[in-house]
Structure 1
Amino acid sequence: MNRFLSITLFYRPLFLIPFMMVNMMAAQDTLTTVVAKKGDGILSLLRKQGVDPYDHYDDFIAMNVDNLRDSVHLYAGRKYLIPTPGAEVVEVVEELEDTSKKVKKVEGTEYAIFGKKHSLVVNKSNRLNNTVYYLVSGHGGPDPGAMANYGGKMIAEDEYAYDITLRLAKELISHGAMVYIIIRDENDGIRDERVLEIDRDEVAYPNKIIPLNQLNRLKQRVDIVNNLYKEHKGKYQRLIVTHVDSRSIGQNIDVFFYHHEKSKNGRKLSESIHTTFQKKYEKFQPNRVYSGTFEDRSSLYMVKKTHPAMTFIEIGNIRNKKDQRRILDPDNRQALAKWISEGVLLDYEK
């Protein structure tokens, strides 16, 4: 069962100082610097500083973009600016005021499926109120999908597609959406490791065994989505399917988006996320051309048979070394989920 929680955030006492000095101190706080250690990523660095890594991920990148490798990776030994959460600054002119007892309550909901570390979802906005999203990560259960060797260990498509899907679900829920995670693993949750262990215990919503036969697997998830679509008839509903491709080792690909040729809303959803990715690349990787596209792919079973307007996303090539960095790095997986969610918001608010 989900339950609401309250988190109490305490603020430091603010001692008697001129108002101009208060402003100067507040400005300095926003420029706190931290030296990255070997093994640090953006998520772990922010978490160590007590900053929510998901709320301030883009802020961190924007502040440090010239000091990052590939716009998302830290250099060990370098200093990085840390964004400051929105703490209150109290004006004090003539007398001492102790603000240590002031608190701010943040309400959230716990979702066990995201795992113990990531279970709390804080409400960011109501921008997606009255919307329903169905999220399907590729393969799962008896079918791991595309596989590759990384550092002597096997990695599988379904584990990484699922992790990105969970991160996306958390983002959408934080903006008020109702989200159905169709392929689910109650044991995994969001994971911050590079190499995600392979298992076979995924099930289909709500708790159905995933068939061994490929066609039966696809039909099962199509039936689940279409039945839920009927239940929510009249509501704004969308479907997002996430896969990782497998091509030749030397083929480096960008993120691709597919839709049904006759679905105007599916095309708009795909285009909105694609546009968001283009803008992110222009901002964070200005010297790199983004080659991902959005296009009709009505021949795909999930595209052809499902009722909600949908987009089918290919994250990258699991066998290519450059694409593996995009897929394996938890910071990159979070960025992918965040950018997809921003594209979803853009689509809905159009």
Structure 2
Amino acid sequence: MNLCSLSRIRKLGTLVLFFGMSLSCFAQDALQTVVAEKGDGILSLLRKQGVDPYANYDNFIAMNVDNLRDSVHLYAGRTYRIPPADLDTVTVVDSIQRKTSEFKKIESREIPILGKKHSTVIIKSKRLAGTVYYLVSGHGGPDPGAMAKYGGKTIAEDEYAYDITLRLARELISHGAMVYVIIRDENDGIRDERILEIDHDEVAYLKKAIPLNQVKRLKQRVDIVNGLYERHRGMYQRLIVTHVDSRSVGQNIDVFFYHHEKSKNGKKLAESIHNTFQKNYKKYQPNRVYSGTFADRTSLYMVKKTHPAMTFIEVGNIRNKKDQNRILVPENREALAKWISEGVLLDYEGK
């Protein structure tokens, strides 16, 4: 071996050693810890650390699950591990050919309806590639749906159903699904506040004004969904309708699901999501009995008239204090969306 070759090997060894040390130091430096303060939630904590709260939400829970209340709530004064920030690309040196190559590339999509702060959706997988999902949040436009008081302010069903629907859309898109958000508010997007301000500017898909009359309003949604269903005939298609119930103040209810009595696929979808909620309650709230149900209810207009297999979800009683906590806390709305999406994946992959 000549001196020139020996020199090259020494330089290559130094480069590899340096690169390895750099990665090691990066991994050590990137793993941060932070003490949660009173009022912190997972989303706000990650955002304060300069980390995308939605791209890293699952990682944070996985890293800290034994230190969380009900899997989604922080304890003030406790220390939490923060996932390292994602890099778009990491360039490595090809020491022989002196070329660069991509070590990791994160695929993403821009979805404007999710809002300026949340429009970038990181694609986690292609598990739902080739599927079509229609998401309909209850009420909207001139009809706010069920209403209640919280902290002296009025809260409305349509705002919370819409926020959960957008979070669900984000999850489904992140797994490769084609998603139609049927009721839309171009100004709102995903919101991380407890009190979601009420407005009346929601429209139906393709900017159609929402009728005040209930039957006309529901027929409009059915016609839109069924029209899109015909356009995508032959593809795997499902419909998910999200509402917030209104009952007596003292009635605490769990999330429950309806389906068409004659739809085997609709029943399977509802059952898959229901089973996911049961599993997660057993895992994260073992001392609490989950009483949510799934059942046929063909009397509901959207259940009876729409063509895709579907489930109709009620996420809680807007007038009950415990259920209000489920929908007002943004981490809870995020968990609801993620658990529904887990059920959707279970349904599709078990088809």
Computed over aligned residues only, the root mean square deviation of the Cα atoms, in angstroms, reads 2.8
> How far 1:153 moved relative to its partner?
0.4
- 3-state SS in 2 of match to 1:266: helix
Quick one: which amino acid aligns to residue 141 of structure 1?
A: G
> How far 1:32 moved relative to its partner?
3.0
Distance, in Å, in 2 between the alignment partners of 1:34 and 1:103 is 29
- How big is each residue's C-alpha offset from its partner over 1:99-155, in whole Å with a ceiling of 9 and x where there is no partner? xx9875433221211111001112221111111110000000111001010000000
1:142–1:54: structure 2 CA closer, same or farther, 3 Å change rule? Answer: same
Distance, in Å, in 2 between the alignment partners of 1:90 and 1:35 is 33
Match of 1:98 in 2: none
- How big is each residue's C-alpha offset from its partner over 1:251-292, in whole Å with a ceiling of 9 and x where there is no partner? 111110110111000011111111111111122112211111
> How far 1:46 moved relative to its partner?
1.6
Matched, 1:294 2:294: yes
Distance, in Å, in 1 between the alignment partners of 2:16 and 2:74 is 36
Distance, in Å, in 2 between the alignment partners of 1:214 and 1:257 is 21
Match of 1:180 in 2: 180
> How far 1:65 moved relative to its partner?
3.4
Distance, in Å, in 2 between the alignment partners of 1:183 and 1:24 is 48
Match of 2:264 in 1: 264
Quick one: which amino acid aligns to residue 75 of structure 2?
A: Y
> How far 1:83 moved relative to its partner?
3.0
Match of 2:10 in 1: none
> How far 1:62 moved relative to its partner?
3.7
Point out where structure 2 has 5 or more consecutive residues left out of the alignment.
Answer: 1-14, 93-100
User: Contact 2:36 / 2:79 at 8 angstroms: preserved in 1?
Assistant: yes
Point out where structure 1 has 5 or more consecutive residues left out of the alignment.
Answer: 1-13, 92-100
Matched, 1:330 2:330: yes
- 3-state SS in 1 of match to 2:106: strand
Match of 2:78 in 1: 78
Match of 2:169 in 1: 169
Distance, in Å, in 2 between the alignment partners of 1:312 and 1:237 is 15
> How far 1:73 moved relative to its partner?
1.8
Distance, in Å, in 2 between the alignment partners of 1:73 and 1:176 is 29
Distance, in Å, in 2 between the alignment partners of 1:104 and 1:41 is 30
Superposition pairs of residues 220-239 of structure 1, within 5 angstroms: 220-239=220-239
Quick one: which amino acid aligns to residue 346 of structure 1?
A: L
Distance, in Å, in 1 between the alignment partners of 2:317 and 2:55 is 28
Distance, in Å, in 2 between the alignment partners of 1:54 and 1:103 is 23
Quick one: which amino acid aligns to residue 189 of structure 1?
A: G
1:24–1:112: structure 2 CA closer, same or farther, 3 Å change rule? Answer: closer
- How big is each residue's C-alpha offset from its partner over 1:41-72, in whole Å with a ceiling of 9 and x where there is no partner? 10111223333322332332343334333432
Q: TM-score, normalised by structure 1?
A: 0.86
- 3-state SS in 1 of match to 2:180: strand
User: Contact 2:171 / 2:341 at 8 angstroms: preserved in 1?
Assistant: yes
- How big is each residue's C-alpha offset from its partner over 1:141-170, in whole Å with a ceiling of 9 and x where there is no partner? 111001010000000000000000011111
The 10-residue stretch of structure 1 (103-112 or 37-46) with the greater mean CA deviation from structure 2: 103-112
- 3-state SS in 2 of match to 1:208: coil
Instruction: Give aligned pairs, total.
Output: 330
Distance, in Å, in 1 between the alignment partners of 2:284 and 2:328 is 19
User: Contact 2:252 / 2:322 at 8 angstroms: preserved in 1?
Assistant: yes
User: Contact 2:90 / 2:103 at 8 angstroms: preserved in 1?
Assistant: no
Quick one: which amino acid aligns to residue 204 of structure 2?
A: A
The 10-residue stretch of structure 1 (302-311 or 17-26) with the greater mean CA deviation from structure 2: 17-26
> How far 1:20 moved relative to its partner?
9.9
Distance, in Å, in 2 between the alignment partners of 1:331 and 1:233 is 36
User: Contact 2:134 / 2:240 at 8 angstroms: preserved in 1?
Assistant: yes
Q: TM-score, normalised by structure 2?
A: 0.86
- 3-state SS in 2 of match to 1:188: coil
- 3-state SS in 2 of match to 1:207: coil
Matched, 1:349 2:349: yes
Matched, 1:130 2:130: yes
1:217–1:66: structure 2 CA closer, same or farther, 3 Å change rule? Answer: same
The 10-residue stretch of structure 1 (186-195 or 16-25) with the greater mean CA deviation from structure 2: 16-25
Superposition pairs of residues 101-116 of structure 1, within 5 angstroms: 104-116=104-116
Distance, in Å, in 1 between the alignment partners of 2:118 and 2:209 is 26
